[in-house]
Amino acid sequence: MGEEAAGDDEFDRLSASDGREIVEDHGRVMYWEVGLPSGDDLTPLSQMLVPPHLASAFSVKPEPPRTDMDVQRASQYTISNLRRTAPSPASTAALRNFSPFSPDESLGFEANDLVENGDSCGHISRSGQISPSAALEEAESSAPVAEDSGDEPSSSRNPKRARLVWTPQLHKRFIDVVAHLGIKNAVPKTIMQLMNVDGLTRENVASHLQKYRLYLRRMNGIQDDSPSLPDHLLTAMQPAKKSLHEQHVPYTPLQYPMPAMIPVPTFGMAPPHGHGVRIGMVPTMEHQGDGRYAFEQHYNGALGERMKDW
């Protein structure tokens, strides 16, 4: 795993409510934009890059139109990779924050996007399609949010939360956090806090943690590395690496400042082979005494990929 490779210094808070302005803390990012064409000079998202006739002439499949959400997602992915790649000076120890986009404002847009795209599994699955393995190892993306479309159970104080689906991204976050805290500190509440995922509850984490522990237990009992065990699974589930300094990790280090990940509630179960885009609606929110925000809901990351056997 990337271990603590991801360091980065102070964090830059990219606040792009609508995709353009990049506000950040120390003017660190702005200069990247110097000299770049302005938005008006760029090709509109709606415009096809390859003209239809050319596409057909070369048997090129037309690219699905991109939406702001797509762009943001791609941007996050890029940032996330940059962070991991860039060797961080000293401050390696503590994993740093990364906060692609401000969570706040990001509410409105995806709801529509999702709705309109209803079934076009095309773009939604993108994040998960980066390649199955990639999805498990890298990609961090936000899950689109879907408002309960025409759902009754008043969105407000609905006591019934939809079942959370631990997508590979969510699980990855979980693993990262657990790995970062020692086994000692890896308890539900702390994990939940560090994961910083909107709508994720302590109960959700506790349950997952229980399962994870069982997995670990079963895992080291059977050191057998016969033929099975698909690599990526191993990678994903590897026992938390104890860093040399995990002993005392109050809170700080690993932090996912923004609630980019969104739990994916669903009602029905995933069809045999994942693919349908399930839209879960989640009622409401509510909250734990300490610091978390309320929530949103969502649709399923549609990554057909589920965690297979871990």
Partner DNA sequence: AGACCAATAT
Partner DNA sequence: CATATTGGTC
Query: Which residues contact DNA by CB under 7 A?
Result: 160-161, 163-166, 187-190, 202-204, 206-211, 213, 288-290, 307, 309-310
Query: What CA–CA distance (Å, rounded) separates 219 from 127?
Result: 29
Between 63 and 203, CB nearer to DNA: 203
Q: Do residues 145 and 162 make contact, with C-beta atoms less than 8 angstroms apart?
A: no
CB of 291 to DNA, least distance (A): 10
Max CA separation in the chain (angstroms): 62
Q: Which of 194, 223, 191 is nearest to 210 (CA)?
A: 191
Q: Which of 111, 98, 102 is nearest to 139 (CA)?
A: 98
Between 60 and 267, CB nearer to DNA: 267
Angle at which helix 68-85 crosses helix 121-129, to 10 degrees, equals: 0
Q: List Cβ neighbours of 14 (8 Å cut-off, separation of 6 or more).
A: 22, 23, 24, 29, 79, 99, 100, 101, 102
Between 7 and 280, CB nearer to DNA: 280
CB of 119 to DNA, least distance (A): 23
Q: Do residues 133 and 43 make contact, with C-beta atoms less than 8 angstroms apart?
A: no
Q: Do residues 111 and 279 make contact, with C-beta atoms less than 8 angstroms apart?
A: no
Between 268 and 289, CB nearer to DNA: 289
CB of 295 to DNA, least distance (A): 13
Between 34 and 269, CB nearer to DNA: 269
CB of 135 to DNA, least distance (A): 14
Place of tokens 């050319």: 54
CB of 19 to DNA, least distance (A): 31
Between 98 and 310, CB nearer to DNA: 310
Provide long-range contacts, Cβ within 8 A and 24+ apart, for 22-30.
Answer: none
CB of 115 to DNA, least distance (A): 24
